[in-house]
């Protein structure tokens, strides 16, 4: 439960139709198993105490009384057990029978939730035996044994300490309805919906069921635990498949495929992430009315053992097909954005500094596509290579070859003499390889680009990426500045895949150049080369691995995760790649740099938004330039590597 991870399970249970004592014994066994695994929320199938397919046996007083007696026994069994359990049974109130889910915990029946939408079509005829719970008055109570129990469709079950852990219940067909109960349950505070279900298996229903659960969790920004009846229910014309699903905000976290034998379908729902999403989304409209009754329960808050995995590169899809689709989509967004800017500005040229590195390569590829879209010759692109102290033969050659292969106009402006003159003007000792030594070169390059743009009636295309913006790894009013920054919302980990995607669909000569660029260490090349003429200044040696920084960036901006949670998730994702001390070290570096460098982000040029995480001060990220990092760094300092 720490960090907001709620361990949930959809349960499969051996079942004998109408044999409540057998069913109760089997349910107890599953509860015991879930208790040993510290399951917070355990959801059983619809009417699991009796079986869903009892038909007109539901008219029998013997069956109804047996189910109620079994419920009392189960309730007593939950005393001292960890899980909150959702168990299905028929419950009679007055002259009517209701298809209910009983929520049990700590030896108590926390509440009874009746089904609202009763299917009465095809193979279903629930209205023959049951009455809709939507017809009941609000805030009802019933007596079971000598205890008063809340009864109705408007019940919420909330943890006493972790308020974000709040459960609402709907049953099977409720999910299929035009206005499902989960809508108002989530608006009223539920972060997880439990659905005890008995959905029979027919061709096409598996995918439809999965789509409904996934879409509902996405639309309501909630977790969803769907527990479906198993093959033991199969009778006459219906076959049930034990298709259990756990979803979170549109993502299927875990699934028991139809007819697979798994007792528990377990995953962890991140309720703090869901709350952050609701906070962020103005489309999510809470309504805190008095008509919903909240029932509190208590569980010890323990560190949840995570079974779900976290992508090492959250910006990059795991599937090669999805990666290609994403690369194609991003290239189009970038190119069409630049096309509009060039046309609107009546720019005669697009001027871009090419270094032989990844970022400028991607920017040049995008600019070439934009010119193609404008039906203009690629010679209207002026690619400028500006060698100086740190330029290597390899990068200079690749810049030239790339420009030739793309058919753009190439200019070379050696800035060495100009930088030395500037050193002389400001009294900079050339032997002092400090930040001034580096930034003088970056600003001279920007001046050259800007002036060439003026001279040719064009505009400067920026090359810096999202990861560099996050770390402030740019020279203020140097490579920090342009007239349109095409890479500004593309993280470094994704730049590489996009360039590789373009390489794989290019001719052999261009492909060879692009792959050599991909193999070149990331560097601003602002320090002199080594004795072999190779790159001496490698960015990731200085600021840390971009894959870690992109991981921190994504989860901090997208979900508001704390340093402790960032560290925990990064440890889970990179357990085999980095030791705990290394991850913690670079996390602290990321936090310090992210807060210190906001002033650079507050005045960045326009550029196309391509994903859900961007740092534009006009779009997704509005942060004061002078915000203190004290709280974040203090939390990071107190993390113990493990």
pLDDT at residue 2 in the model: 86
Across 316-342, b (16+ Cβ under 10 Å) vs e yields: bbeeeeebbebbeebbebbbebbbebb
Q: Which helix (H) or strand (E) holds 517?
A: helix 508-518
% of the chain with per-residue pLDDT over 70: 99
320-637, CATH topology level:
Rossmann fold (3.40.50)
Query: Residue 533 pLDDT more than 90?
Result: no
Q: Phi/psi class of residue 221: alpha, beta or left (left: φ > 0; alpha: ψ in -120 to 50)?
A: left
Distance from CA of residue 39 to its chain's centroid? 23
Res 115: pLDDT: 97
- Tokens read off for 129: 């035996």
How is the chain split into domains, by residue range? 2-297, 320-637
Per-residue pLDDT of 11-32, as tens digits, reads: 999 999 999 999 999 999 999 9
Phi, psi of 125 (to 5 degrees): -145, 50
Contact (Cβ atoms closer than 8 angstroms) between residue 87 and residue 238: no
When pLDDT is cut at 50, 70 and 90, the band that residue 616 belongs to is: very high
Query: Which of 72, 149, 136, 69 has its CA nearest to residue 107?
Result: 72
pLDDT surpassing 80 at residue 491: yes
Label the pairing between strands 192-197 and 166-169. Answer: parallel
The per-residue pLDDT of the chain, averaged, comes to 94
One fold for 2-297 and 320-637: no
What are the tens digits of pLDDT across the range 164-174? Answer: 999 999 999 99
Residue 528: pLDDT over 80: no
> What are the pLDDT digits (tens) for 313-330?
999 999 999 999 999 999
Which residues form the catalytic set?
46, 115, 172
pLDDT at 542 over 80: yes
Least confident of 234-243, 350-359, 418-427, 498-507: 234-243
pLDDT attached to residue 9: 98
Q: How far is CA 25 from CA 14, 139, 326, in A?
A: 10, 32, 50
Helix (H, G, I), strand (E, B) or coil at 538: coil
CA-CA distance, 560 to 546, in Å (whole number)? Answer: 20
The tens digit of pLDDT for each residue in 137-174 reads 888 999 998 899 999 999 999 999 999 999 999 999 99
Residue 529 has what pLDDT?
A: 75
- Domain range 2-297, CATH class: alpha beta
Closest CA to 410 of 349, 357, 465: 349
pLDDT tens figures, 258-308: 999 899 999 999 999 999 999 999 899 998 766 899 999 999 988 889 999
Angle in degrees, 0-180, between the axes of helices 630-637 and 563-573, rounded to the nearest 10: 50
509-529 average pLDDT score: 85
- The total number of residues shown for the chain amounts to 642
Burial class of 482 by CB neighbour count within 10 A (0 to 12, 13 to 18, 19+):
buried
Confidence check: pLDDT of 525 > 80: no
Q: Is 269 helix (H, G, I), strand (E, B) or coil?
A: strand
Q: How far apart are CA 239 and CA 258, in angstroms?
A: 11
pLDDT at 642: 80
Rounded to an integer, the average pLDDT of 181-210 is: 95
- Asked if 385 contacts 399 with a C-beta cutoff of 8 angstroms, the reply is yes
Q: Does 131 have pLDDT greater than 80?
A: yes
pTM over 0.95: no
Q: Which residues have CB under 8 Å from 505's CB, separation 6+?
A: none
Q: Would the pLDDT of 575 be above 90?
A: yes
Mean pLDDT of 591-612: 96
Q: For 405-416, what is each residue's pLDDT tens digit?
A: 999 999 999 999
State residue 535's pLDDT score.
Answer: 67
- Whether residue 538 is predicted with pLDDT greater than 80 in this model: the reply is no
Mean pLDDT along residues 194-221: 95
| 30-62 confidence digits (pLDDT tens) | 999 999 999 999 999 999 999 999 999 999 999
All residues at 6 or more sequence positions from 61 whose CB lies less than 8 Å from its CB, including other chains: none
In contact, 463 and 488? CB cutoff 8 Å = no
Mean pLDDT confidence for 111-120 = 96
Q: How confident is the model at residue 536 (pLDDT cuts 50, 70, 90)?
A: low
State pLDDT tens for residues 341-400.
Answer: 999 999 999 999 999 999 999 999 999 999 999 999 999 999 999 999 988 899 999 999
């Amino acid at each position: 439960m720490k960090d907001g991870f709620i361990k949930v399970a959809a349960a499969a249970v051996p079942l004998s139709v109408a044999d409540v004592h057998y069913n109760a014994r089997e349910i107890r066994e599953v509860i015991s198993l879930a208790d040993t695994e510290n399951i917070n929320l355990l959801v059983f199938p619809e009417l699991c105490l009796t079986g869903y397919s009892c038909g007109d046996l539901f008219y029998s007083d013997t069956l109804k009384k047996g189910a109620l007696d079994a419920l009392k026994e189960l309730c007593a069994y939950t005393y001292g057990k960890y899980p909150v359990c959702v168990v299905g049974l028929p419950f009679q109130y007055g002259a009517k029978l209701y298809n209910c889910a009983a929520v049990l915990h700590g030896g108590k029946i926390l509440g009874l939730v009746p089904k609202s939408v009763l299917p009465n079509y095809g193979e279903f005829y629930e209205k023959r035996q049951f009455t809709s719970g939507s017809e009941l008055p609000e805030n009802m109570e019933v007596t079971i044994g000598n205890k008063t129990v809340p009864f109705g469709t408007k019940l919420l079950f909330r943890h006493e300490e972790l308020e974000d852990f709040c459960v609402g219940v709907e049953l099977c067909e409720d999910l299929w309805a035009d206005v499902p109960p989960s809508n108002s349950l989530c608006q009223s505070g539920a972060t997880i919906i439990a659905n005890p279900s008995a959905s029979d298996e027919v061709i096409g229903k598996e995918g439809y069921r999965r789509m409904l659960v996934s879409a509902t969790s996405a639309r309501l920004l909630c977790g969803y635990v769907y527990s479906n009846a198993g093959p033991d229910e199969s009778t006459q014309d219906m076959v049930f498949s034990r298709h259990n699903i756990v979803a979170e905000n549109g993502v299927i976290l875990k699934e028991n495929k139809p007819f697979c034998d798994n007792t528990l379908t377990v995953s962890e729902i991140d309720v703090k992430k869901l709350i952050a999403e609701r906070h962020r989304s103005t489309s999510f409209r809470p309504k805190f009315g008095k008509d919903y009754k909240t029932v509190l329960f208590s569980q010890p808050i323990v560190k949840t053992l995570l079974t779900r995995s976290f992508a090492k590169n959250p910006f990059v899809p795991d599937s090669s097909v999805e990666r290609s689709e994403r690369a194609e989509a991003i290239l189009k967004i970038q190119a069409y954005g630049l096309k509009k800017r060039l046309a609107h500005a009546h720019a005669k040229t697009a001027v871009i500094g090419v270094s032989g590195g990844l970022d400028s390569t991607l920017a040049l590829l995008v600019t070439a596509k934009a010119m193609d879209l404008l039906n203009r010759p690629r010679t209207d692109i002026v690619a400028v290579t500006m060698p100086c102290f740190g330029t290597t033969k390899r990068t200079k050659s690749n810049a030239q070859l790339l420009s030739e292969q793309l058919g753009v106009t190439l200019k070379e402006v050696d800035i060495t003499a100009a930088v030395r003159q500037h050193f002389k003007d400001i009294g900079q000792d050339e032997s002092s390889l400090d930040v001034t030594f580096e930034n003088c070169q970056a600003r001279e390059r920007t001046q050259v680009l800007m002036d060439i743009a003026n001279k040719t009636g064009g505009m400067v295309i920026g090359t810096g990426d999202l990861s560099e913006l996050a770390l402030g790894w740019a020279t203020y009013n140097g490579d920090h500045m342009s007239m349109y920054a095409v890479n500004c919302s593309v993280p470094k980990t994704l730049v590489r895949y996009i360039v590789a995607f373009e390489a794989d669909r290019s001719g052999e000569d261009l492909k060879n150049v692009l792959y050599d660029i991909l193999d070149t260490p990331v560097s601003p090349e602002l320090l002199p080369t080594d004795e072999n003429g190779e790159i001496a200044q490698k960015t990731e040696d200085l600021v840390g691995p971009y894959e870690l920084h992109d991981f921190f960036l994504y989860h901090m901006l997208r979900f508001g995760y704390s340093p402790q949670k960032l560290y925990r998730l990064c440890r889970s994702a990179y357990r085999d790649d980095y030791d705990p001390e290394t991850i913690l070290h670079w996390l602290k570096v990321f936090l310090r740099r992210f807060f210190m460098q906001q002033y650079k982000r507050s005045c960045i040029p326009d550029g196309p938004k391509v994903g859900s995480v961007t740092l534009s001060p006009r779009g997704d990220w509005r942060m004061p330039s002078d915000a203190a990092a004290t709280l974040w760094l203090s939390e990071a300092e107190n993390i113990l590597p493990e």
